[in-house]
Amino acid sequence: MEAASPSTSVDRLSVDTIRTLSMDGVQKANSGHPGLPMGMAPAAYVLYAKVMNHNPKDPGWPDRDRFILSAGHGSMLLYSVLHLSGYDLPLDELKRFRQWGSLTPGHPERDRVHVTPGVEVTTGPLGQGFANGVGMAFAEKFLRQHFGKQVMDHYIYAIVSDGDLMEGIAAEAASLAGQYGLGRLVYLYDDNSISLDGPTSLSFDSEDVTKRFEAYGWHVEEVHDANDVVALQSAIEEGKRHETKPTLVRVKSIIGYPSPHKQGTSKAHGAPLGEDEVRATKEAMGWDPDAHFLVPDTVYADFAQAAERGAAAQAQWQERFEKWRGAHEELAQQWDLAWEGGSYGGRPLPGLKDALRSMDWALPPGKEKLATRSAGQKAMAAMAPFVPTLVGGAADLSESTKTEFPGGDDERFTKEHAGRNIFFGVREHGMGGAVNGLAAHGGIVRPYGSTFLQFADYMRGAIRLGSLTGLRTAWVYTHDSVALGEDGPTHQPVEHLAALRAIPGLTVIRPADANETAEAWRVMIEDLEGPAVMALSRQDLPILDIDFDGVGRGAYVVSPELDPSQPARVTLVGTGAEVHTAIEAQKLLAQAGVASRVVSMPSWELFAEQDDSYRDDVLPPTMPRVSVEAAITMGWERWVDRAVGIDRFGASAPGAEVLEKLGITGSHVAQVAKDLLGAIGS
């Protein structure tokens, strides 16, 4: 290895270039966070120029090392180093930091449309990136064992800040990483003793971070001066040597270094330094204070060497890959499908649709009903052969959510063995961030996380960020209404469906029976581009004769007029379990001489995407409509004239009784329909 000393002029010049680009970018935007990029410039430099296997010319190469700037407020650090490394991020984009339509948004963003090359995940909400990296380490470990070390064998690096480490999600994710021995994680902690409000003595200096992480099962390294490039590199290399332990490198840095008047204070955290201070800082570094966005040629040349190494590493990988492909035909087919479309892609093996549309529910004699969560379990067993890299798990509720592939210990993800079933423990938010990371890594087809619908709140930050990013995750939630019963209002969701439907880019699916549940899995795996929620019932439900294509269209007529000679006067719309309530109401209305039709509406979002003529067929605009859903009624005014729902918290009692007391009954729905018809004189 070439001797790299902090005083080699090239190292220092490159590091200082990162600093000046970051200062200039923030100053020009008159907005942003210069402190972290300046303090941690050497860390980013060491990673991008000396440590990481990455090819700026092919940011999607599957076996690249991943980098996450969990402290997303330091975005100019990432943009500077991506530009210098040779990613397709021109200097002009750095000059357009934080401007409309630029590739350099306020915090690093990743989505399908607006792509900043080299940005792996969207960060900004502190702690999320930390957990995303843990998910990527799950993915790497799984894929390494499944496909082989020749084709998957890389590390995940991150820069995390005080704020990241204060967040609960990071604690959950760190604990998970220790539990599962995710040794491919090397996180650099920007230990600068400053956060937004001031010194960490205000809120974060009595806990011993080193001891905490050691207690989680991490290896901890210390670097006493962030400017010591050699020490940084050797700490990282030492971390890499710990195969079964994640590593936290505590890097003592000075925020805003070397700004003469603002370094070491929270003044450098989140505001431009000011023109005068930028000049003074450049002068202190021996730079021309009149030069802006200056990149010395030697710095480009320095980074170009790293890019060459990266390209060579990818070429070697490609060679190994071709050899491997020749020797592993079946695995190669799986690989191709799993990686199709990169980390926004991933396809199942052929046959998934047939398997999920021809389920034999095999109910024991005398049993005619099946909870949709139990149907989900059977659907997962049926789809298991077609999704060899679909990894996920529950937050210590797999007994209830029933989201497990069959196979016992062989399918369990453990320290030693990477199966498809991860036991996330009671760490909902950590699970959410990790599942996002599994998706963002690529190669894992539609990873999922699972718990009670009620606890979606505990992971909402991750759900939102995954939706913003458009990650292909599945959030599988059971006990989706007050019908769960005795556990009472603490466990009974009422506002959750509305709260999830409120998130842009998230598709919420609430299947009405076993067949809709199997089809919902198919829709998520084969058809949907972004994240999806599946809300499942605890209680048993009758099995319907469904229109499979209707599920993917969001709504369809599940029970037309009972007497074809009597045209319907009202449409009853239900979701999930309450489709059966609507069917009950339809019968009661028929007895009263009122013809009606019932629509199952598993997904608002999918229905909203249909063309007008389909929507008008399902919900004829001139026909009065009544909905029933065991949840708050907010939003239903978009689809119906009257909404039967629960605009209060639930109650602790047997589920059927709670439904009855709160008006989720066929007779109540029938009455509301009759009242509506009376009110409009139809």
CA distance 35 to 151: 38
Task: Look up 428 and say whether it is catalytic.
Answer: yes
199-203 long-range Cβ contacts below 8 angstroms, 24+ apart: 199/266, 200/162, 203/166
Out of Mg ion, ligand TPP, none, what residue 73 binds, judged by CB under 5 to 8 A for its kind, is ligand TPP
Q: Which of Mg ion, ligand TPP, none does residue 36 bind (CB under 5 to 8 Å by kind)?
A: ligand TPP
307-323 burial, b for 16+ CB within 10 Å, e for fewer?
bebbbebbeebeeebee
What whole-number distance in Å separates Cα of residue 577 and Cα of residue 41? 55
# residues near ligand TPP by CB under 6 A: 17
For Mg ion, which residue has the nearest CB? 162
With binding defined as CB under 6 A, does residue 501 bind ligand TPP?
no
Does 126 contact ligand TPP by CB under 6 A? Answer: yes
- Kindly state the tokens that stand for 309: 């190494």
**Given CA atoms 591, 593, 595, 600 in this order, what sign does their dihedral have?**
negative
38 scored as a contact of ligand TPP (CB under 6 A): no
User: Residue 125 binds which one of Mg ion, ligand TPP, none, with CB within 5 to 8 A depending on kind?
Assistant: ligand TPP
> Is 250 a binder of ligand TPP (CB under 6 A)?
no
Q: Which of 77, 81, 194, 508 binds Mg ion (CB under 5 A)?
A: 194
Indicate the residue among 245 and 429 with the shorter CB distance to ligand TPP: 429
Contacted by 269, from ligand TPP, Mg ion, none: CB < 5 to 8 Å by type: ligand TPP
Tell me which DSSP letter residue 194 carries: E
- Which listed residue (428, 578, 584, 629) is catalytic? 428
CB closer to ligand TPP, 40 vs 139: 40
Least Cβ distance, residue 394 to ligand TPP (angstroms): 25
CA distances (Å), origin 172, targets 206, 274, 342, 412, 623: 20, 39, 28, 20, 51
- Return the SS3 of 580: helix
Q: What binding mask, one character per residue, do residues 142-161 give for ligand TPP by CB under 6 A, x or -?
A: -------------------x
- Relative to beta strand 556-559, strand 596-600 is antiparallel
User: Which CB sits closer to ligand TPP, 41 or 355?
Assistant: 41
Measured from each CB, the residue nearest to ligand TPP is 163
Q: Does 125 bind ligand TPP (CB under 6 A)?
A: yes
- Of 66, 98, 245, 269, the one binding ligand TPP (CB under 6 A) is 269
**CB distance 511 to 536 below 8 Å:** yes
Contact 133, 437 (CB under 8 A): yes
The Cα–Cα gap between 305 and 412 comes to 42
Residue 256, interface with ligand TPP (CB under 6 A)?
no
Q: What part of residues 165-204 is at the interface with ligand TPP (CB under 6 A)?
A: 190, 192, 194-196
Query: Are 538 and 397 spatial neighbours (Cβ–Cβ below 8 Å)?
Result: no
* Among 19, 28, 73, 479, interactor with ligand TPP by CB under 6 A: 73
Which residues ranging from 561 to 600 are in contact with ligand TPP (CB under 6 A)?
A: none
* Binding-site string for Mg ion from residue 173 to residue 192, where x marks contact by CB under 5 A and - marks none: -------------------x
For 400-464, give the DSSP string: HH----S-GGGGBB-SS-B-SEEE--S-HHHHHHHHHHHHHHSSSSS-EEEEEGGGGGGGHHHHH
Residue 428 lies near ligand TPP (rule: CB under 6 A): no
**CB-wise, 254 or 601, nearer to Mg ion?**
254
Residues comprising the chain, all counted: 682
| Residues between 405 and 444 with contacts to Mg ion, criterion CB under 5 A | none
Q: Which residues contact 452 (CB under 8 A, 6 or more apart)?
A: 397, 400, 401, 477, 478, 479, 484, 491, 493
Separation of alpha carbons 86 and 200, rounded Å? 36
Residue type, 310: G
Could you say whether residue 69 binds ligand TPP (CB under 6 A)?
no
Q: Which of 254, 255, 299, 525 binds ligand TPP (CB under 6 A)?
A: 255
What SS3 string covers 61-120? CCCCCEEEECCHHHHHHHHHHHHHHCCCCCHHHHHCCCCCCCCCCCCCCECCCCECCCCC
For the chain, how many helices (H) and strands (E)? 25, 20
Quick check: 38 binds Mg ion (CB under 5 A)?
A: no
Smallest gap from Cβ 228 to Mg ion, in A, equals 19
Least separation in angstroms between CB 35 and ligand TPP: 5
The binder of 68, among ligand TPP, Mg ion, none, by C-beta within 5 to 8 A per type, is none
Which residues are the active-site residues?
Answer: 428
**Which residues form the interface with Mg ion (CB under 5 A)?**
161-162, 192, 194-195
**Which residues form the interface with ligand TPP (CB under 6 A)?**
35-36, 71, 73, 124-126, 161-163, 190, 192, 194-196, 255, 269
